[in-house]
């Protein structure tokens, strides 16, 4: 996986997501929407399923995205 708190395009369980991400101490991948109003749309991928989550590419921006407050 690429650097944490960048944004990327992911494909998981038949759906595509543009999200920021982080991996917690247990190895769970968290796909986080940048918009706090969409905090309920967070997707968590257990360590045992990370191989089935495809990283398709990095979202390019001119600035660093802030870390989500609801992480």
Confidence of residue 2 (pLDDT cuts 50, 70, 90): very low
Residue 2 CA to residue 63 CA, distance in Å, equals: 17
Sign of CA dihedral 45, 48, 51, 52: negative
pLDDT in tens, 42-66: 999 999 999 999 999 998 888 777 7
Q: Which residues pair with 50 in a beta bridge?
A: none
pLDDT in tens, 14-41: 999 999 998 889 999 999 988 878 888 9
């Amino acid at each position: 996986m690429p650097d944490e708190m960048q944004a990327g395009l992911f494909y998981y369980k038949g759906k595509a997501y543009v999200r920021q991400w982080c991996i917690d101490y247990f190895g769970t991948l968290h796909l986080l929407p940048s918009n706090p109003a969409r905090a309920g749309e967070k997707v968590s991928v257990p360590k045992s399923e990370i191989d089935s989550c495809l990283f398709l590419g990095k979202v390019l921006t001119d600035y660093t995205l802030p870390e989500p407050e609801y992480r």
